[in-house]
Chains A and B, each alone.
Chain A
Amino acid sequence: MEEKKDQAYFRKLANQLMFDLSDEEANAIVKEFEVLTKQLELLDAVDTEGVEEMIYPFEEDTFFLRKDEVTHVISQEDALVNVKDKIEGHFVLPKVVK
C-alpha cells in the first residue's frame, strides 16, 4: 500500500536528508505536493517506450584519463581555512565512541 503523503511523511523524508521542517513548512509541502503530483502526471502522457535517457546534452567525448601526476595541490592550512573548529590539522567533532 502506498504511504500517505502527509506532514509526517515529508518530515521523515527531510530527516533522512539531515534537516528538519517546521509544521508550517511540512504543511505547505503537503499542499504543494497535490499540484506537483498533477504536474508529474503530465509526464505519463508522453510515450517514452524505447527512448534512451538523456543524461547530458552532448555525447561527444570531453573527458580523458589524465596522467597519474600530482596537480592542483592545496595545503593543509588552506584545506582547513573554512573549518570552524580544528586542532593540529584535524576537524573537531563530538566524540563518536562514548
Chain B
Amino acid sequence: MIREIVENKAQVEETCTKAYEKAKAYQDKLNAVITFVDPKEQLENLPEEGLMRGVPIALKDNVNTKGILTTAGSRILSNYVPIYDAAIAEKLKAAGAVVIAKASMDELAMGGTNKTAYIGPCLNPWDTSRITGGSSGGSAALVASGVVPMAIGSDTGDSVRKPASFCGIVGIKPTYGRISRYGIIPYSSSLDHVGYFTRSIEDACITLQVLAGRDDRDMTSSYREVPDYRALLNADMKGKKIAIFGNVLDAIANENTKALFFDLVEKLKEKGAIVDTFYFNEDLMKAMLPTYYLIANCEATSNHSNLDGLRFGVRETGASMEEIMTNSRTKGFGPLIRKRFVIGSYGLFEENQDKLFRKAQKVRRKIVDELNVCLKDYDCLLAPASSTIAPRLDEASGDELSDGYLVAENHMVIGNFSGYPSMTVPMGFEEGCPIGVNLTCRAFEEDMMFNIGKAIEEITGYENLIAEVK
C-alpha cells in the first residue's frame, strides 16, 4: 500500500485528504482520534522524494509533535502542546509521511484495553461492541478500518501486538534500541519500545527502514547498521526452525484458537519449516506477569513524577504548591493510573526493594536466559497473540491467578523483557473477528521476523485486511 501511494504521485493530495475525511467520518463509530491534523500545510511542504512521500499516517498521542496537542490519553496533559518533535516525527516528516491524526490510547500507555483514554474508549472496527485492545488502540483502529496504511504505536508489555491481534493487522515491536524513543512520553524506560501497525509485511519493512537508526538523544539507541529490510524480504521457509511456545498453547482453553494456530503450523511445515514445541520452566511462566507488573509500575511511578500541573499540563487551583500538585494529580489521573502508581511506589519502598523490585529484575534475567536457550536452536518462538478474539467492552478479565490469564494472555511481555523483535500477524477469524499469531526472534533479526511473517501472510492471504465499519 505504501509503495503504491508513493508511486502514484499525482494522487497524493487526494489520498491524504480522503484519509483525513475518513478518519473524521469514522469518529462517531470508533472514537479512535484525539486530535485531527489537517494535512494541507504538510502537503505544501512535502520533500521531493521519500520512502513515505504523501502517505497518510497516524501517530499515537504519546508522540511529541511540535505545535500539535499531545495528551498521552490523559486529562493531566489534555492542554499540552509540545515545543519539539519526537525523533520519529522528524524522520517520518523527512520521509514525506503526512500526519492526519493523533490517535487515542490508554492513559499514559498504561493499559491493555484502550478503555482508559480520557476521551472514552476506542471501539473495534470489526465489531464496535468490542474493544480494540491497548494501549495503542486508536492507531490499530485507524489502520484496521483502512483510514491509514500505517500508524505509530508504542509497546511496553504488548501494547502494539495485542491490539494488532484484536484488529486483524500487522503489529511490530522491533528490537530495543532499533528506533529512537526521544520525544515519546515514557511509561517504563527499560521496557518501552516504539512500535507500529501496517496491513502488510512489505509496509512493515518500509516503515522500519524509515524509523530505525542511531539517535544520540536516546541513550539506549543502537549504533547497528539498518539493513534494507524490503530488499531482504522473502517467504522462504525451507530449513527455518520454529519453536511453538508450549506453555502458552497448554494455557489456552479456546479450542478454535488452537485449531487456527495448528492449521497454520501445518502449512508452515508444508513450506519447509522445521517445527518443535519448546517448554519454559513453569514457575518462570507464572512469574512473568507479576515481574512485568512490578518493573513497569515502579518505573512509571518514577517517570511520571514530573506530571504535577506546575510546569505544563492541566493545573488545578490550591492554596499552596503542594495543594496545587495534589489537586492537579488527583483530578488529572484516572483511577487505574493512580492505582498503578500506588503499587509502583509500594514496590519501591526501601523495605520492599529487595523482595519485590530487585527480585523482579532478577526473575526478568532468568526468563530472558531461558528465551536465549530457545532461540539458540530456533529462529523464532511462535504462539497465538491472545487466546480469544477482542473481548466485549463490558467483559471482565477473568481469574487473574489462572494460567489462562498469567500465561496465555500476557506471554508477549517476554519480548519487552528481552528487547527482542516481536510481531503479530493476522491468523484467522472467530465470530467474524480477527485473531493474530505472535512471533519473537533474536535481537536485531527483524529481517528473519519479516520473512517468517511474509510466509504466514502468503499462507493466510490476509494482506491488506480492512474492516467494514458498521
The stretch of B14-22, B39-47, B321-329 in contact with A is B321-329
Q: Is the CB of B324 within 8 A of A93?
A: yes
Once A17-B342, A82-B81 are accepted as A-B contacts, the answer to whether A40 and B417 lie under 8 Å apart by CB is no
B238 at the interface (CB under 8 A from A): no
Task: Give the chain B neighbours of A84 by CB distance below 8 A.
Answer: 309, 315
Q: Is the CB of B359 within 8 A of A48?
A: yes
Task: Give the chain A neighbours of B309 by CB distance below 8 A.
Answer: 84
A87 at the interface (CB under 8 A from B): no
Chain B's nearest CB lies how many Å from the CB of A95?
9
Task: Give the chain B neighbours of A70 by CB distance below 8 A.
Answer: none
Once A62-B222, A62-B223, A82-B312 are accepted as A-B contacts, the answer to whether A36 and B283 lie under 8 Å apart by CB is no
B303 at the interface (CB under 8 A from A): no
A68 at the interface (CB under 8 A from B): no
Once A35-B400, A40-B294 are accepted as A-B contacts, the answer to whether A20 and B315 lie under 8 Å apart by CB is no
Q: Is the CB of B287 within 8 A of A14?
A: no
Q: Is the CB of B81 within 8 A of A94?
A: no
Q: Is the CB of A17 within 8 A of B341?
A: yes
Q: Is the CB of B356 within 8 A of A40?
A: yes
- Of B219, B294, B342, B359, the residue contacting A14 (CB under 8 A) is B342
Task: Give the chain A neighbours of B286 by CB distance below 8 A.
Answer: 42, 45
Chain B's nearest CB lies how many Å from the CB of A24?
8
Q: Is the CB of A25 within 8 A of B365?
A: no
Residue among B81, B319, B345 facing the most chain A CB atoms (10 A cut-off): B345
The stretch of B124-132, B156-164, B331-339, B445-453 in contact with A is B331-339
Chain B's nearest CB lies how many Å from the CB of A45?
4
Task: Give the chain B neighbours of A43 by CB distance below 8 A.
Answer: 287, 290-291, 294, 356, 359-360, 363
Task: Give the chain B neighbours of A48 by CB distance below 8 A.
Answer: 359, 362-363, 366
Nearest chain A residue, comparing its CB with the CB of B416: A57
Residues of chain A from 10 to 40 with CB closer than 8 A to chain B in the complex: 10, 13-21, 25, 28-29, 32, 35-36, 38-40
Task: Give the chain A neighbours of B294 by CB distance below 8 A.
Answer: 40, 43
Task: Give the chain A neighbours of B418 by CB distance below 8 A.
Answer: 57
Residue among A32, A46, A79 facing the most chain B CB atoms (10 A cut-off): A46
Task: Give the chain A neighbours of B470 by CB distance below 8 A.
Answer: none
Task: Give the chain B neighbours of A21 by CB distance below 8 A.
Answer: 338, 342
Q: Is the CB of A18 within 8 A of B325?
A: yes
Instruction: Report the bound CA distance from A96 to B294 in whole Å.
Output: 36
Instruction: Report the bound CA distance from A58 to B401 in whole Å.
Output: 31
B289 at the interface (CB under 8 A from A): yes
Residues of chain B from 174 to 232 with CB closer than 8 A to chain A in the complex: 176-177, 190, 216-217, 219-223
Nearest chain B residue, comparing its CB with the CB of A79: B83
Q: Is the CB of B326 within 8 A of A13?
A: no
Once A13-B345, A28-B335 are accepted as A-B contacts, the answer to whether A96 and B330 lie under 8 Å apart by CB is no
Instruction: Report the bound CA distance from A60 to B283 in whole Å.
Output: 29
Q: Is the CB of B219 within 8 A of A46?
A: no
Q: Is the CB of A58 within 8 A of B419?
A: yes
Nearest chain A residue, comparing its CB with the CB of B352: A40
A69 at the interface (CB under 8 A from B): no
Q: Is the CB of B310 within 8 A of A46?
A: no
Q: Is the CB of A39 within 8 A of B293?
A: yes
B346 at the interface (CB under 8 A from A): yes
Q: Is the CB of B216 within 8 A of A46?
A: no
B443 at the interface (CB under 8 A from A): yes
B119 at the interface (CB under 8 A from A): no
Task: Give the chain A neighbours of B420 by CB distance below 8 A.
Answer: 57
Chain A's nearest CB lies how many Å from the CB of B453?
21
Taken residue by residue from 280 to 320, chain B's Cβ proximity to chain A (1 for < 8 Å, 0 otherwise) reads as 00011011011101100000010000001111110100111
Q: Is the CB of B312 within 8 A of A25?
A: no
Chain A's nearest CB lies how many Å from the CB of B257?
24
Once A53-B365, A85-B315 are accepted as A-B contacts, the answer to whether A28 and B326 lie under 8 Å apart by CB is no
Nearest chain B residue, comparing its CB with the CB of A41: B290
B26 at the interface (CB under 8 A from A): no
Residue among B176, B284, B287, B325 facing the most chain A CB atoms (10 A cut-off): B287
Instruction: Report the bound CA distance from A39 to B288 in whole Å.
Output: 10
Q: Is the CB of B362 within 8 A of A53?
A: yes
Q: Top 3 A-B pairs ranked by shortest CB distance?
A: A57-B419, A82-B312, A53-B361
30 intermolecular pairs with C-beta atoms under 8 Å apart? A15-B326, A16-B345, A20-B330, A25-B335, A35-B401, A39-B289, A39-B293, A40-B356, A42-B286, A43-B290, A46-B284, A46-B362, A46-B366, A48-B363, A48-B366, A52-B365, A56-B220, A57-B190, A57-B368, A58-B419, A66-B216, A82-B79, A82-B81, A82-B311, A82-B312, A82-B313, A83-B310, A83-B311, A91-B311, A93-B324
